[in-house]
Amino acid sequence: MGKMAAALGSAATLAAEPGEDAFRKLFRFYRQSRPGTADLGGVIDFSAAPTARGARPGVPQVVRSQLSVCSVSESDALRAGLQPVSTWRAYGLEGYPGYQWHWVKQCLKFYPQKPNVCNLDKHMARDKDQDVWEQSKALLRCKEVTKRRPRSLLEKLRWVTLGYHYNWDSKKYSADHYTPFPSDLAFLSEQVAAACGFQGFQAEAGILNYYRLDSTLGIHVDRSELDHSKPLLSFSFGQSAIFLLGGLRRDEAPTAMFMHSGDIMVMSGSSRLLNHAVPRVLPSAQEDSLPLCLEAPLPADLPRDTVVQPCSVEDRQLCASYLKTARVNMTVRQVVATDQDFPVEAPGENERDIAQEGICHLEDKITHGKRVRLDPDS
Ligand code: OGA
Ligand code: MN
**Per-residue model confidence as pLDDT tens digits over 66-88:** 677 778 888 999 899 888 888 88
Predicted confidence at residue 217, as pLDDT, reads: 97
Instruction: Measure 144 CA to ligand 1 centroid, in angstroms.
Output: 31
Q: Which of 6-20, 214-228, 231-245, 285-299 has the lowest mean pLDDT?
A: 6-20
Would you place residue 189 in the very low, low, confident or very high pLDDT band (cuts 50, 70, 90)?
very high
Instruction: Measure 303 CA to ligand 1 centroid, in angstroms.
Output: 31
Does 145 score more than 90 pLDDT? Answer: no
Which numbered atom of ligand 1 lies nearest the CA of 265? 8
Predicted confidence at residue 19, as pLDDT, reads: 64
The dihedral built from the CA positions of residue 159, 163, 166 and 170, taken in this order, carries a sign that is positive
Would you place residue 139 in the very low, low, confident or very high pLDDT band (cuts 50, 70, 90)?
confident
Instruction: Measure 22 CA to ligand 2 centroid, in angstroms.
Output: 18
Would you place residue 165 in the very low, low, confident or very high pLDDT band (cuts 50, 70, 90)?
very high
State the average pLDDT over residues 308-323: 92
Residue nearest ligand 1's atom 4 by CA: 329
Name the residue of 159, 276, 332 to mutate for ligand 1: max ligand atoms within 8 A of Cβ: 276
Is residue 154 within 8 Å of 322, Cβ to Cβ?
yes
Residues near 51 by beta carbon (within 8 Å), at least 6 away in sequence? none
Instruction: Measure 74 CA to ligand 1 centroid, in angstroms.
Output: 29
**Per-residue model confidence as pLDDT tens digits over 19-55:** 678 889 899 999 999 998 888 988 888 777 555 544 5
Does 223 score more than 90 pLDDT? Answer: yes
Q: Is pLDDT larger for residue 146 or for residue 134?
A: 134
Does 140 score more than 70 pLDDT? Answer: yes
pTM of the model: 0.77
Q: Which of 46-50, 93-97, 360-364 has the lowest mean pLDDT?
A: 93-97
State if residue 224 touches ligand 1 by the CB under 6 angstroms criterion. Answer: no
Residues near 278 by beta carbon (within 8 Å), at least 6 away in sequence? 211, 215, 216, 217, 241, 242, 243, 244, 259, 329, 362
State if residue 221 touches ligand 1 by the CB under 6 angstroms criterion. Answer: no
